[in-house]
Each structure stands twice: as structure tokens, then as C-alpha cells.
Amino acid sequence: MSEIEELICLIREFANRRDWEKFHTPKNLAMAITGEAGELAAEFQWLSTEEASNISNLPVERIELEIADIAIYLLRICDVLKVNFVEVVKRKMELNESRFPAPK
């Protein structure tokens, strides 16, 4: 089992033990991803590009937790919709290669 698959199982089991399946609809999970992305963006709000690029000036733990929240909801929606996360990312990267070719 890959690390991604292990995470999906961990997240699924966490939700199952709390009887949260009824709340984990695709719509609700998509909205949760959006909310968490907003919380991540808020950590950078009002910072200059230079400030936002200097890790020593950032609330690293809060940023990491927001990234984790986004990842948890993203993997959960993949699980609920039976989407293979690794395969769709690879497919999208192949599409991006043709849409945005690297300079020669």
C-alpha cells in the first residue's frame, strides 16, 4: 500500500469512527477545501512577496496545519468519489506538458 493509500485509509477510518460519512458529500468536501484554502491564503495576506518567501518570518506551524487540512479534504473527496488521486495528478501533468511546453 502506498503512502497516499495509507493516508486515504487513515482519513476514511477517522471519519467512519465519528459517523461523518453523511457530512462528507462531494459538495461539502469541495466547500471545505475552499474554506481551508482561504485560511491558508489568510496566513500570507498583507505580506509582501519578499516577506512571504522568507520562511523565518512566517507562522510555519499554522501554514503547515492549513496545508494538511487542504490535503485531508482533498484526499477525502477523492475517496468519496472513487477518484485515483495519483492517476489524475499524473494525467493532469501530462496535459499541462502539452499545454505549457518547456522552453527549448
Q: What is the model's pLDDT at position 55?
A: 85
C-alpha cell at position 62: 499554522
Q: What is the model's pLDDT at position 2?
A: 95
SS3 20: coil
Q: What is the model's pLDDT at position 56?
A: 84
**At residue 95, what is the residue type?**
L
Counting as low any pLDDT under 50, the low residues of the chain are none
Cβ contact 71:3 at 8 Å: no
What is the value of pTM for the model shown? 0.92
Q: What is the model's pLDDT at position 68?
A: 98
